[in-house]
């Protein structure tokens, strides 16, 4: 069973990929390094010479370029389509342990360049509507392999979260004649109370409208619609911001911190009002307690924020200042 099904209640596509149920799950610590498919010498990497960052096809892809045909349901309301798309893994380093913040700035830049190059490549397929770049880290998030890596999905539809952002940004442009995120960034930089870190190209902050306790967004200060439009300097400064945010989480929780990182990008087709940005979701509400999404969140999509964003920002600023010395070269400052 490998197909995409339409949920008519919320007008959203759902990927059905039965084969992913058998993918490996966090092997025993003693065996993990030996079994890791992303370490040098693994079958997938055996033919490669020395490397820093490498992109591999996902062994358990949710979407593929040549999917099996689907058998349509007799009821017209129950729509389905072929699971056509792509799924890749960006292996960020040969080292088995680590994070974006344990890479040098130049190495982290190579990771962002890999994101950009793969988005440009996958965008050329006629069946791709959106390329999603994301990073899951930690057992709390459900990560099956600990070797530092990100993922890229080439989707045959625009995700509903992105569609909602496009609708909101286009409405704001019609009413105000300006970009929503440009205006938010400008205001936050002037106010300063929710900013965590800033460099010449990006501002990292807890948004006024945060849903997760330690949620952080990274906004380009200059208007840019897509990862594909970033200049070489902006790629470097984005890598800098990603290193600082991940180091800040480690400092805050005083351990190797879990999180979800999601790049929100302009669709690969069409011409929409949009502003590229990165969102981080942190599952902890303090050093020991998880923030669980439960009935009100899952059942109604209504988040309850545990705390006050401005107070969380003060905690993250302190953690950011404590984290900077461990990073070596940085391009901005914590507030």
Burial of 11 (0-12, 13-18, 19+ CB in 10 A): exposed
Which of these is catalytic: 2, 96, 147, 149?
149
Spatial CB neighbours of 77, under 8 Å, sequence gap ≥ 6: 8
What secondary structure letter does DSSP report for 297?
I
Question: Could you report how far apart the first and last alpha carbons of the chain are, in Å?
Answer: 51
- Catalytic: 149? yes
The total of other beta-carbon atoms located within 10 Å of residue 196's CB is 27
Calpha distance 91→39 (Å, rounded): 9
Calpha distance 112→108 (Å, rounded): 7
Calpha distance 256→100 (Å, rounded): 11
**221 closest CA partner among 168, 185, 197:** 185
Q: How many helices (H) and strands (E) does the chain have?
A: 7, 13
**Please, are residues 53 and 93 in contact by the beta-carbon 8 Å criterion?**
yes
Active site (catalytic) residues: 149
């Amino acid at each position: 069973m490998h197909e995409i099904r339409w949920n008519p209640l919320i007008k959203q596509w759902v990927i059905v990929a039965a084969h992913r149920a058998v993918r490996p799950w966090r092997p025993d610590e003693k065996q993990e390094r030996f079994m890791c498919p992303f370490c040098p010498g693994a079958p997938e990497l055996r033919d490669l010479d020395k490397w820093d960052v490498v992109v591999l096809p996902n062994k358990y892809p949710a979407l593929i370029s040549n999917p099996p045909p689907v058998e349509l349901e007799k009821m017209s309301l129950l729509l389905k389509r072929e699971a056509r798309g792509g799924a890749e893994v960006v292996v960020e380093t040969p080292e088995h342990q680590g994070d974006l913040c344990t890479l040098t700035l130049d190495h982290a830049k190579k990771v962002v360049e890999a994101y950009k190059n793969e988005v440009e490549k996958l965008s050329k397929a006629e069946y791709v509507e959106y390329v999603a770049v994301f990073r899951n880290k930690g057992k709390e998030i459900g990560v099956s392999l600990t070797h530092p890596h990100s993922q890229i999905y080439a989707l045959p539809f625009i995700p509903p979260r992105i569609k909602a952002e496009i609708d909101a940004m286009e409405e704001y442009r019609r009413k105000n004649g300006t970009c929503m995120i440009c205006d938010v960034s400008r205001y936050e930089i002037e106010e300063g109370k929710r900013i965590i870190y800033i460099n010449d190209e990006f501002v990292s902050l807890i948004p006024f409208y945060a849903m997760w306790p330690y949620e952080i967004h990274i906004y380009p200060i200059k208007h840019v619609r897509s990862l594909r439009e970033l200049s070489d300097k902006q790629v470097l400064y984005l890598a800098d911001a990603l290193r600082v945010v991940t180091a800040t989480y480690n400092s805050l929780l005083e351990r190797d911190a879990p999180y979800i990182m999601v790049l929100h990008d302009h669709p690969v087709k069409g011409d929409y009002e949009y502003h590229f940005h990165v969102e981080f979701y942190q599952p902890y509400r303090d050093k020991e307690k998880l923030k669980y999404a439960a009935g009100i969140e899952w059942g109604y999509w209504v988040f309850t924020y545990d705390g006050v964003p401005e107070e969380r920002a003060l905690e993250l600023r302190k953690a950011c200042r404590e984290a900077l010395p461990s990073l070596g070269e940085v391009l901005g400052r914590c507030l």
